Structure 1
């Protein structure tokens, strides 16, 4: 093994992270490895941020990708099939990054859906003045709506968590309910596990399917041409 990448050290303060980093450096050097400090980055998680802000940030990230590729997506000479493929492989993943951990409300799904339809209208060469129905745009583009892909991300992660042994950290970290977290005003006070229960019920998925990896993949499959 010549190199390794994507190692994350997590702690409550930067000083404690630096102590862990120094321990990693000494351990790696004792085994003949070197730690590149020039590529080391620090990230801070603000757990006081609301879910609405997270969804808004992902939508803005999708539009950023859109602007970077606007020369292709808005070019009438580029085949629409290629535009759709680019949207599915670059723009939509940017909008759904981390979505498997979102306790989404209906308004969050609506915001993502509105952003997606605006993008589909745009690269199909239509505006609101053309008075074309959303259903017609969807039929023309094909594929699954972003709300279905959002549910697919959530349920796929839920299936992965359920198949892990009870002592696995992901089981205790994801499914543990935290009661002292301040939530947004208004009902319902939706949590991640409540979102999962809602989607499992809507998709009519049994517990046996959750524990069966192959059956689970078929159950949550959202086909796209």
Structure 2
């Protein structure tokens, strides 16, 4: 059952997540969904009051937040190493003409998540695959 979940359900849940700007609310909703599916796999109800750690230990399924973080870093490395002139990297470097963002706390951008993990020189670090993969493993 775990194998089916890992190979079929998680890829569907995380489709396109490489480009999402992860917020705590989004991570929480994905984890709640994953835990509900894990409980259904085990035939356990919320009324049984079994801790999440115990459910995770029984199912041995990868945490969805870790999977998304790994996919996001893989995609960032792929985009940074591209040299064919497609507009993935151009979109990352794009700045609005006004140069201003909305008032208040600005919404988190995809590159903000990557900078938080790999630092401001993440594009240079991504050029070296060995360094980037080691950074990926330490973060995830």
TM-score of the superposed pair, with normalisation by structure 1 = 0.52
Give the whole-Å Cα distance in 2 for the aligned partners of 1:208 and 1:84.
Answer: 38
Map 1:49-198 to 2 at 5 A. Answer: 83-165=1-83, 167-178=85-96, 187-198=105-116
Change (3 A) 1:209 1:117: same
Gaps of 5+ in 1: 1-82
SS at the partner of 1:220?
helix
- Using CA pairs below 8 Å that are at least 6 residues apart, which structure has the higher relative contact order? 2
Change (3 A) 1:94 1:179: farther
Deviating 4+ runs (over 6 angstroms): 183-186
Change (3 A) 1:199 1:219: closer
Change (3 A) 1:106 1:186: farther
> What is the root-mean-square deviation of aligned Cα atoms in Å?
2.9
Q: Note if 1:210 corresponds to 2:122.
A: no
Change (3 A) 1:94 1:157: same
Gaps of 5+ in 2: none
Which one has the largest radius of gyration? 1
Conserved? CA contact 1:175–1:193, under 8 Å: no
Conserved? CA contact 2:77–2:126, under 8 Å: yes
Higher helix share: 2
